[in-house]
Structure 1
Amino acid sequence: MNKMLFLIIYIVILTSCVPHKKLVYFQGEPIKKEEIHKVNDIPYKLQTNDIISITLKSKDEELVALFNSSNSSDSNFSNNLNGDQLYFTGYTVDDHGNIRLPYIGNLNVLGYTIEEVREKVRSELKYYLKFDKNIFVNVKLAGIQYTILGDIDSPGTHIIYQNKVNLIEAIANAGDIMDTGDRTKVEVLRKELDGIKKYTVDITNIDVFDSEVFNILPHDIVYINPIKTKSWGIGTTGLQTFTTLASVFSIIATTILLIKSF
């Protein structure tokens, strides 16, 4: 009976431990030059509720002063923006896909890339300003905002002030995945034209760099699934499992002895 009990405990400990292979990122054979993984690099197209910063620069500051007044009278303001300032001073894409600009009024930017918006603004301003090559139009996305949940060190909504953010940067920015998180089944939920889509990627595999969701987009939701041993509640290491099982059997033994004493 005792041998059987110890055998059961031993098997449970072995099956409950997280294999080293599931904790190591980017596993795979060394990559040859002709096999270098190409990162998905499709330009982002603006969606509703995105916030963008648009500024004009010119030798004649009075010429662009009205346009930039919604941002700041300081011509260097665009170099020192943060999320709070951009919320109040940037241009938000409304439910109809428009932003409202000085001179121009409503300008539809839904589905356009940042470069296309820059060209569109420049083209429209020709009707209102004495436009020449000395006027520089600068358009930037106000960072990449995403939500990350599950077995991550710092879950919640985060903003990274870059034009592009990949999945690895998003995870690192949230403090990395905990030992109880399943790195082989990281889910990315994305709103697309035909509805919400869910993608599953394995970041322990070097092929993650080829994934169509390797570069995350604004409003993406990243979910880190728990490993099965966490669901069972018996620990993620051999020591944790042994301690848990020892406690359970100790309670059972104590209960049996108390019952027999009556």
Structure 2
Amino acid sequence: MNKPKLFLFVFLSILMVSCVPTKDLIYLQNNKDASTVSVTPSNNKPYRLQTNDILSITIKAIDPKLVEIFNSTNSMNASSVTEQSSYFSGYTVDDHGNIRLPIIGELNVLGFTVEEVRTKLESVLAEKYFKPEAGIFVIVKLAGFRYTINGEVSGTGTKVLYQDRVNIMEAIANAGDITVTGDRKDVKVIRRYPQGSETFSIDLTSSDAVNSPCFYLQPNDYIYVKPLKQKTWGTGKTGIESLSTIITILSLATTTFLLLKN
């Protein structure tokens, strides 16, 4: 192989390996017929409350005055609810797993689902404070779905979504999507439990991602998107960028050679 052909071969090889392939950028790719792919619903388990979670509790009755004391901190319009207002008006689970309610006092909610807390609170109110004729109706929700995302995304940081269920695709979209140099094939999700933490890995370029136990997030999950090796090399994300980098390097090398020769 003569020198020009060898140079061209090396040049094209560098150009090819330095670019980010299109297949590494497409989400939920399916190698088989879509009709044969099944989704496992068991990967969306109910979230169980942990310390520092914030609950929004609303208690209603036929006569609103009967429950006014319970809702004095939650009387704001739903459209005006923010992360800051939720922090000050919600009920925070303390280090002992309790929330502190007017009149009722401390109520242990650690390890309960929000539905179990609702049932428990309704039982306490019915047994100790109200007759059936009062028509007590309780609503319990998390004061925002909070998660943290870091790494190769457009907007890192702690995010809050006001919805009951959030999957990892929605969370990433809310953070401005993964950048071109982000590794979609090995996204890490660190999930906190009362007994410790567990790290999951999910390949978002595969349609099988929907069956992952971390496809549906849980509150307080931490998502990390690591960079592709192309970013470490610094050769560019696209063919044009890589070509520009290579030309710059060759020009610098040629200039240095000529200066040394003279």
Which residue of structure 2 lines up, in the alignment, with residue 173 of structure 1? 174
Correspondence for 1:244? 245
> Contact 1:103–1:128 (CA<8 Å) still a contact in 2?
no
* Pair 80,122 (structure 1): closer, same or farther in 2 beyond 3 Å: farther
Q: 1:5 is aligned with what amino acid?
A: F
1:78 Cα deviation after fit: 5.0
Consecutive unaligned residues in structure 1, runs of 5 or more? none
| RMSD (CA atoms) | 1.7
Report the Cα offset of residue 174 of structure 1.
0.8
CA distance in 2: counterparts of 1:174 and 1:201, whole angstroms: 17
Q: Percent identity of the aligned residues?
A: 46
Q: Which runs of 5+ in 2 are unaligned?
A: none
| Whole-angstrom distance in 2 between the partners of 1:85 and 1:198 | 32
Provide closer, same or farther for how the CA distance between residues 246 and 229 of structure 1 changes in structure 2, counting only shifts above 3 A: same
Matched, 1:13 2:15: yes
TM-score by length of 2: 0.92
Instruction: Give me the whole-angstrom Cα distance separating, in 2, the residues matched to 1:43 and 1:112.
Output: 9
Report the residue type matching 1:228 in the other structure.
K
Counterparts of residues 11-90 of structure 1 (less than 5 Å):
11-28=13-30, 29-32=32-35, 35-39=37-41, 40-72=43-75, 77=77, 80-90=80-90
Quote the Cα distance in structure 1 between the aligned partners of 2:60 and 2:78. 11
CA drift at 1:138 = 0.6
Q: SS in structure 2 opposite 1:54?
A: strand
Quote the Cα distance in structure 2 between the aligned partners of 1:240 and 1:229.
12
Q: How does 1:146-185 map to 2 (within 5 A)?
A: 146-185=147-186
Q: Is the 8 A contact 2:51 2:96 kept in 1?
A: yes
Deviation of 1:132 (Å): 1.9
Q: Secondary structure in 2 aligned to 1:223?
A: strand
The residue identity in structure 2 corresponding to 1:258 is L
Amino acid at match of 1:250: S
Where is the strand percentage greater, Structure 1 or Structure 2? 1
Residue of structure 1 equivalent to 2:104: 104
